[in-house]
Structure 1
Amino acid sequence: MIDVRSRYLADTVATAAPARLLTMLFDRLLLDLARGEESLRTGERPQATQHLAHGQEILAQLMADLNTSVWDGGEQLLSIYSYALSQLIDASRVGDADRVATCRELLAPIGEAWHQAADALATDVPTQRTASTAPSAGLGVLGVG
């Protein structure tokens, strides 16, 4: 039986707007890196490997979904993602918590920028017209009588 929390999370992800989904993925990426780093520092290699592998999967998906042709910074962002992924793979292989921390510090400002962009998009969404701004002379909202 699926618990209420799992169902809520699944529904939230399934109904999230693309910008919100991106921020959710980035938040989880940073959480995985923080948990992986902490696990490495406390000598819990199996848990660290699990967290870092999940973070690597998210980063690989972000790379796959990035359309570099729609904005000038796309290629540079892809390069940052690629560098971080290679560093995380190596950090996981050798158990280097400092390298994981460096990747997290590199990616955190990008996550913040994605949050700011998503917030800006959310505030730019037009709202439903109020009665005072609706077309007059018997026309409906779509301009059809």
Structure 2
Amino acid sequence: MNNPYAQYQQQNIATAPPEKLLIMLYDGAIKFLKQGLKALDDKKYDDFSYYISRTQDIISELMVTLDMDYEISKNLYQLYDYFMYRLIHGSVKKERESIEEVQKHLEELREAWVQAAAAKEKAAT
């Protein structure tokens, strides 16, 4: 790997605390949804499918990393499962509403995790 940016990014991921990694996953999913919506608007359906698929990959990762010993994890799992359903629906129907709904919820969850991470960091100092 000779690309300094890629090396920096890999190092950033390898040393990030779990809450930062979670926020990075949300950022990626939101970014892909925005790109997917733009592709849908531009009628670039192959690109649209690609970006929705990438978002689904991230949501799958969020699902498998949940610690199911906690009630909140079970609730998040059900929510992520619903997101997958809405993404499949939006992808098949080429429906903007379904994709925007998932994006809105992911943005809200991301903000909640940002606040939780900030509170944790503040408590540690």
Q: Same fold (TM over 0.5)?
A: yes
2:109 is matched with which residue? Answer: 110
2:66 is matched with which residue? Answer: 66
Contact 1:32 1:51 in 2 (8 A): yes
RMSD of aligned alpha carbons: 1.5
Contact 1:68 1:74 in 2 (8 A): yes
Whether 2:28 is the aligned partner of 1:31: answer no
2 CA distance for matches of 1:89 and 1:61? Answer: 16
- Runs of at least 4 residues off by over 4 Å: none
TM-score, normalized by length of structure 1?
A: 0.79
Whether 2:94 is the aligned partner of 1:95: answer yes
Whether 2:97 is the aligned partner of 1:122: answer no
Contact 1:33 1:51 in 2 (8 A): yes
2:80 is matched with which residue? Answer: 81
Whether 2:9 is the aligned partner of 1:5: answer no
TM-score, normalized by length of structure 2?
A: 0.91
1:45 is matched with which residue? Answer: 45
Identical aligned residues as a percent: 26
Would you say how many aligned residue pairs link Structure 1 and Structure 2?
A: 125
1 CA distance for matches of 2:2 and 2:44? Answer: 29
Aligned to 1:68, the other structure's residue is in SS state coil
Aligned to 1:67, the other structure's residue is in SS state coil
1 CA distance for matches of 2:35 and 2:114? Answer: 21
1:111 deviates by 1.0
The structure with more helix, counted as a fraction of residues: 2
Unaligned runs of 5+ in 1: 127-145
For residue 65 of structure 2, what is the amino acid of its counterpart? D
Aligned to 1:2, the other structure's residue is in SS state coil
**Highest Rg: 1 or 2?**
1
1 CA distance for matches of 2:2 and 2:25? Answer: 22
User: Compared with structure 1, are the counterparts of its residues 119 and 46 closer, same or farther at alpha carbon in structure 2 (3 Å cutoff)?
Assistant: same
Contact 1:37 1:98 in 2 (8 A): no
1:65 deviates by 0.8
